[in-house]
Amino acid sequence: MSELRILVVRPDAIGDVVLIIPLLNTLKRSLPEAKIYTLQQEYTEMLMKNHPAVEDVILDWKHKGKADGLKGFLSYAGYLKSFKFDMVILPYLDGYYALLTALAAIPVRIGDSNKVFLSPLLTHAVKQNFRNIIRHEVEQNIDLFVRYKERHNQPFVIDHTMDLFVDPEDDLKLDRLLADNGWSGEQLIGIHPASGGGNRAWLPEKYALLIRMIHAETNMRVVITGSGKREEALIRDICMAADDNIINLSNKTTLPLLKALAKKTVVYVGTDTGPTHIAAALKTPVVCISPTKFVKPLRWGPWKVLNRVVGHPEKCLLVCYPYKCSRIDCLESISVEEAFNAVKEMVFLVEDGRKGIDIKKNIRYWFVNSMNILFYISEYDSGFNRIVEYIKTLCSGKVTVHIICSGNKVSEQVHKRLLEVDKACNDFVSLNVIPEYRIAKLIRYISSNDINVIHLSPLKYKVFWIYVIRQITALKLYCPPMIYSFNDEISNYDELIDRYIQEFSLYYN
């Protein structure tokens, strides 16, 4: 019997490649005799080159310019066919690679069934619930393989391990590079101020003030990284506004040296981009500057590592589209002090010997930074007492709650009741009046506040909310809201959040 050969396609950014590592480990644990290959861009090659789960890295011809035109594309398909792969998994699925792997005659081709126009090019289209933001990108990747195995009643072993490896020689090279740039052996805080494009980068003047604060109030030094002319210019501006104590490694690190640096730093600071995911994979605590509503920590947070998320996306009252937005509401809302406090907290936990992380607790923490919950009250009745208990419990965990009432009279009763129960709720509750017939205003509110869960009291208009409000907001939101109401007794915050997580996952399965 010939050995099983598997190809995993991920020809995009550094962070996306890092987040397939648990999928690769799951494949290796489930099929230990298999030879696993990855298809990547050349600039990400060294991430997987020496990973124990990976037999070899195939460099993508498309991005190298070797597959131009029909002839080049067919040659590329023939090249992949020569490997005699038995299976391909496509976490990165678009028409080009779906057709390429089909022409390469790979017998088992697994991808997301939600891409209905590409499904005919797959042999096994399995459902990947991208709108289920409760499931991290790591879990979404693993789901492709697991759902295929489940469909065929075959055994599998899930391995959530996130692991990268640094060559000891690269540690030595990094020490020499740091020394050449003024390092005298101090502990290091890494900062990568640019964004890969999925999220927005924090303001350079804010980074400069953060660096000044780190240097003034700690014995650590900041080392700053970036690549390319645009990032080099950004870092130059930050350095000019900060101080001359920064170690500037802009355009001076290869990918292996960036891994060595991420491993060496005490804490790494940046958006949810490649270097922060590298740091997380190397067990370095991460402070994730996450300004926008569009990118949620529950989906893209630093996986299985100590982390803090800093951001106030609720401060922006627009529908979020970070790729084109030029306003700085969400960026301005993040204070330097809270970013510095997050860095200090991570440093303290490291010095205190904390290495591991409680995943369940971390998911609850991400929930607070990701989810927006709305209660729509059309009648003030005895059922509202149960809702008050939910709101109190959510507020105890500092979850921002939105309440919309159908009229002023209901709003006055709701406000009075909240004050009677717990005045502290006012710090986390936004109370508004919008009648249900004001459909455009309702949709605008839900979309601009990125509402993820809507509770109705009472439930008699549920069909209207599901088939009108939800369907229209789906055109504007990455994740349209779950219309739901549970009436169980909830005894504490952790139990309530766990219930939300469970119900949200079921809703999108």
> pLDDT per residue over 239-273, tens digit each?
999 998 999 999 999 999 999 999 999 999 999 89
Residue in 1, 2, 13 with CA at minimum distance from that of residue 275:
13
pLDDT surpassing 60 at residue 87: yes
**Does a cis peptide bond (omega within 30 degrees of 0) precede residue 52?**
no
**Stated pTM of the model:** 0.93
User: pLDDT confidence of 424, banded at 50, 70, 90?
Assistant: low
* DSSP label of 91: S
Q: Where are the beta strands (DSSP E) in 28-90?
A: 35-40, 56-59, 87-89
- Decide if 6 contacts 89 (C-beta within 8 A): yes
Burial 5-32 (b: 16+ CB within 10 A, else e): bbbbbbbbbbbbbbbbbbbbbbbbebbe
Per-residue model confidence as pLDDT tens digits over 327-381:
888 889 999 999 999 999 999 999 888 767 888 899 999 998 889 999 999 888 7
The residue-averaged pLDDT of 466-476 equals: 90
Residue in 82, 81, 89, 106 with CA at minimum distance from that of residue 27:
89
Q: How far apart are CA 390 and CA 392, in angstroms?
A: 6
User: pLDDT confidence of 199, banded at 50, 70, 90?
Assistant: confident
- Decide if 287 contacts 308 (C-beta within 8 A): yes
pLDDT given at position 2 = 66
Q: How far apart are CA 199 and CA 295, in angstroms?
A: 6
User: pLDDT confidence of 457, banded at 50, 70, 90?
Assistant: confident
What domains appear along the chain, each with residue ranges and CATH number? 5-151 (3.40.50.2000), 168-367 (3.40.50.2000), 371-507 (3.40.50.11100)
Q: How far apart are CA 212 and CA 340, in angstroms?
A: 10
